[in-house]
Amino acid sequence: MQRAAIIGGGVIGGGWAARFLLNGWDVRVFDPDPEAERKIGEVLDNARRSLPGLSDAPLPPEGRLSFHADMGEAVKGADWIQESVPENLALKHRILAQIQAACDAGAVIGSSTSGFKPSQLQEGSAAPGQILVAHPFNPVYLLPLVELVPSAANDAGFVERAAEVLRSIGSYPLHVRKEIDAHIADRLLEAVWREALWLVKDGIATTEEIDNAIRYGFGIRWAQMGLFETYRVAGGEAGMKHFMAQFGPCLAWPWTRLTDVPEFTEELVDLIAGQSDAQSGAFGIRELERIRDNNLVAMMRALKGQDWGAGALLRAHDARLKAGTALVARAADVAEGVPVLTLARAVPLDWTDYNGHMTESRYLDAFAQSTDRFMELIGCDAEYIAGGGSYFTAESHIRHVDEVHAGARIEVRTQMLLGEGRKLHLFHAMYEGERLLATGEHFLLHVDLGTRRSCPPGPQVAEGLALMSRAHGGMAWPEAAGAAIRRAG
């Protein structure tokens, strides 16, 4: 079991704890704040609700979380140690020295610092090559970007090992090849933030109007294409050179005040805080976090369907998860007398309805995925379908037994009731743990995709059906199989 130690359990440290924990790592937390356990528990509640739903493969079993009063106890034996204490260099030097006095020599020590360079953090260190910057973005458990910033003291193999750990927990390590204050992303954010402060101070826009300009316009473009690719598209058929020729002269015009910063007076702070309260004050912080998480998951899952941007990263992480999944690989592995596991995943946020539980159409979606998996098990895989044979569903019956909410880890276990000739009769049962949530009964016909008419399956599928029939042939029919809708009263 891999172990991570989190030093500092604030918003960022709590997010790191959730990211590691829900990806199967044991997590040890050190934070002298007496409220740390409560605060991290609330972050974990949000993470358990949202992160697993990004994946269409089951995450590994959740690791063990423990809180420690002694920092040395927390870091001893840890593979990855994440320092997330306040942005004070003297404090970070003191904490990093205490970490290195107790941790294993091979442990990676990452700092969540937003602005300090790794060489600054390494000053006076007994082992500077063990420390690097691993700067995440909030919420750490959802947003994949981690700026991985080494210095000349860090060995290339050590940096790649750190990058591989981050990839294994679904993060994207952006290797910043040359250390610089505030790294890459925060420098870009700082430029927008400075300009926004002037717009508010000069009475040109309110905080809400600025936020609307971002979220209704270029922010959506940036979310899926970034800056340069967006402008390449803006150049039309002539591409980036045309865009730069067209808009390059604007750089000499007084459009921004990036080299100037408004004085941070109490008046300016009160103005911005007052506008922000009017904009978002109706929501508590946990409500805003859940709204944010809902939106991020919906956008990232939409990008996943297009295999683009952050969605492409999610697909790649799913592939890694599926490589180690508990789902059986082929029909020959099916245990006799036991329904086969055909789906194991979490309920995504966008699968829930106005009642707060999984919407009706998603039960069919989950059972359809289970049917597809069953087809693979009997040999009706992508290659077979490309060859012209497949199954079409002729009839379905779904029973909703109990409700299930976002973040719940569900499994579907499938029993083949009939698999003869062109006929396939399946019974799916959906569970959370051992709690039955729903059943789906489906009758399918094997078809020739050329003629779109039913026909017997090919030898590959016929053999798979025979294997499955031997495994399930002696099982009793489920009590609900063959049931019709009952009339009330």
Residues 351-410 have pLDDT tens digits of 988 888 999 999 999 999 999 999 999 999 999 999 999 999 999 999 999 999 999 999
Q: Which residues are annotated as a binding site for NAD(+)?
A: 8-13
CATH number given to 186-282? 1.10.1040.10
- Residue whose tokens read 């953090």: 121
Tell me how far apart the alpha carbons of residues 176 and 123 are, in angstroms, rounded to a whole number: 19
Q: Hey, what are 335's tokens?
A: 């245990």
178-223: per-residue pLDDT in tens? 999 999 999 999 999 999 999 999 999 999 999 999 998 989 888 8
Nearest to 132 by CA among 183, 188, 190, 68: 183
* Region 129-137 average pLDDT: 98
Q: Hey, what are 257's tokens?
A: 């005040």
Going by C-beta distance under 8 Å and a sequence separation of 6 or more, which residues neighbour residue 353? Answer: 359, 360
For the chain, the farthest-separated pair of C-alpha atoms sits apart, in whole angstroms, at 80
For CATH 3.10.129.10, list the domain ranges present in the chain: 327-472
- Cβ proximity of 375 and 391 under 8 Å: yes
- Identify the CATH assignment for 327-472 out of 3.10.129.10, 3.30.230.70, 3.40.30.120, 3.30.450.20: 3.10.129.10
pTM for the whole structure:
0.83
Q: Which residues are annotated as a binding site?
A: 8-13
For CATH 3.40.50.720, list the domain ranges present in the chain: 3-183
For domain 3-183, the question of CATH label 3.20.20.70 is answered with no
Q: Report phi then psi at 151, rounded to 5.
A: -120, -175
What letter would DSSP give residue 217? I
For CATH 1.10.1040.10, list the domain ranges present in the chain: 186-282
Q: What is the per-residue DSSP string for 70-137?
A: -HHHHHTT-SEEEE---S-HHHHHHHHHHHHHHS-TT-EEEE--SS--HHHHTTT-SSGGGEEEEEE-
Task: Measure Cα distances from 440 to 18, 368, 371 in Å.
Answer: 34, 9, 10
What band does 483 get if pLDDT is binned at 50, 70 and 90?
A: confident
Q: Is the pLDDT of residue 131 over 80?
A: yes
User: Is the link from the previous residue into 139 a cis peptide, with omega within 30 of 0?
Assistant: yes
- Cβ proximity of 148 and 133 under 8 Å: yes
